[in-house]
Amino acid sequence: MTGTLILLRHGESTANADGIFTGWTDVPLTPHGRDQARDAARLLAAADLLPDVVHTSLLRRTITTADIVLGHLDRDWIPVQRSWRLNERHYGALTGHTKTEVRGRTDEATYRAWRRSWATPPPAAQPGTLAPFNDDRYRSLPPDAWPLTESLQDVHARLLPYWADRICTDLAADRTTLVVAHGNSLRALVTDLDQLTTHGVERLNIPTGQPLRYDLNENLRALMAGGVYLDPRAAAREAAAVSRQ
């Protein structure tokens, strides 16, 4: 067995609370989301899972969540790496619209495909209208990597190099590795960990603020499919809430 991997979707954001397609838009945590981050830290402490290194996206909802967790664990000093490759899926022209609004103006099959499918992206945004355009954090990103929309398959493709080069390096060095990311970037990662089919990943929901532990073998495959949530009942409740959206 190699290092332990902990996956954590950020705490509830203001956009989560309002049911908005957010993607690469930067939004803060709600007070409840901050409470979720503190609860996640308590679960990690109770399980004696103290991270040696942390990886986050470039969006503040993951950065704030990680900061709260590390502060409560007295682990502020450990290395933190950030990458756009862990960003949430880019929702294209749906960005900024509520799920209720989008659901009301299209048929159920199309809405579900945009939300849950492996290969169907939402309609593309107009060039130059949404992040990463005019955002300093993406200045070094090659223009041909700037998304106008993304399917989950696209997220998987841009995440894999970071997984292989950075996260796997930490795991191979037997570091307890915490990845604080987003619902869809974590779904893309779990697709690889659990070797999910495209139909399997459509049914996968990652709840906010619930630490998910994976113990991995020497090939970085999960010893237990699906991993282990540190609070299974709360995770199931929150995952059901995501599913109802």
- Active site positions, annotated: 10, 88
Distance separating alpha carbons of residues 42 and 24, to the nearest angstrom: 29
Distance separating alpha carbons of residues 209 and 105, to the nearest angstrom: 31
Distance separating alpha carbons of residues 221 and 192, to the nearest angstrom: 8
> Residue 98 pairs with which residues in a beta bridge?
20
Phi-psi region of 213 (alpha: psi -120 to 50; beta: other; left: phi over 0): beta
Residue type, 158: R
Question: Residue 207: which residues within 8 A CB-CB, separation 6 or more?
Answer: 9, 234, 235, 237, 238, 239, 241, 242
| Helix boundaries (H) for the chain | 14-18, 31-46, 60-72, 99-104, 108-116, 152-162, 168-172, 183-193, 198-202, 232-244
216 three-state secondary structure: strand
135 three-state secondary structure: coil
Distance separating alpha carbons of residues 78 and 42, to the nearest angstrom: 18
